[in-house]
Amino acid sequence: MPEQPANDPKQFIQGAPVFHVEDPKASAEYYRDVLGFNFDFSMDEYSVVWRDNSAIHFATGDTHAQGVVLFQWLVDVDAYYEEIKSRGANITREPADQSYGVREFSVIDLNGITINFGQDIE
């Protein structure tokens, strides 16, 4: 895993993707209800969800997220897998140790965005 987020950042505080989707509010609700994120801000045209140090933004737009893969580093990938599996997440790849030293699994959200969740193998 790259360095953990700094408590006292020198410049960069956090990066957050902005996905163009058909329905930002429905997307935020999915991330809340299935993936366990919290609403930060939600309206018809723009929504933001958070979980710990991860924020994801959704906006209406002429183009939609296609071919996008979002990677999220986790502390305990297996515990999170069980959490979202019980909520009906569309899991496309079960947790597995990869040759590059990461244990990860994948889901596809309601917009067709692939999200890989992983942690370093220790």
pLDDT of residue 2: 54
The DSSP symbol for 51 reads E
78 domain residue, yes or no: yes
Structurally, the chain folds into a number of domains equal to 1
SS3 71: strand
51 domain residue, yes or no: yes
99 domain residue, yes or no: yes
What CATH number should be reported for the domain holding residue 115?
3.10.180.10
Angle at the Cα of 111 from the Cα atoms of 105 and 112, rounded to 5 degrees: 50
68 domain residue, yes or no: yes
13 domain residue, yes or no: no
pLDDT of residue 15: 83
pLDDT of residue 92: 98
38 domain residue, yes or no: yes
pLDDT of residue 56: 95
Range(s) of the domain holding residue 99: 18-120
Go through the chain and tell me how many residues it has.
Answer: 122
9 domain residue, yes or no: no
Answer yes or no: are the C-beta atoms of 90 and 107 closer than 8 Å.
yes
Torsion of CA 109, 86, 25, 72, to 10 degrees: -50
Nearest to 60 by CA among 36, 33, 27: 27
Residue 119 phi, psi dihedral angles, 5° rounding = -145, 155
What gap in Å lies between CA 5 and CA 52, rounded to an integer? 11
What gap in Å lies between CA 75 and CA 11, rounded to an integer? 24
55 domain residue, yes or no: yes
pLDDT of residue 67: 78
- Across the 122 residues of the chain, what is the mean pLDDT of every consecutive 10-residue run? 60 84 94 94 91 93 80 95 97 97 96 94 87
Amino acid at 101: G
